[in-house]
Structure 1
């Protein structure tokens, strides 16, 4: 966190890393209206998709 910019860089990272991936999942039909979405960290990346009710 940078004192001059506050949490804005973190917000931008979340928007890019999660928001863009989630948009792709919605457009591809993997995530539908009313679905619960799960975001998991895996290695150096993220897994974004519909929640299945299973735990990892």
Structure 2
């Protein structure tokens, strides 16, 4: 059972990392056309991004 839980935890960690990287990439691309909106989003969501 322990190995199963560790395996599931690793899959969740990898998936979460993937989506965090995708979100950062989207913000990076959007900042090229609307940097002020991205700055505002980041300043309003600092705790959620950490």
TM-score range normalised by the length of the shorter chain: 0.3 to 0.5
Flag the structure with more relative contact order, 1 or 2, with Cα contacts below 8 A and sequence separation at least 6: 1
Based on CA coordinates, which of the two structures has the bigger radius of gyration?
Answer: 2
More strand by share: 1
TM-score, normalising length: structure 1: 0.38
More helix by share: 2
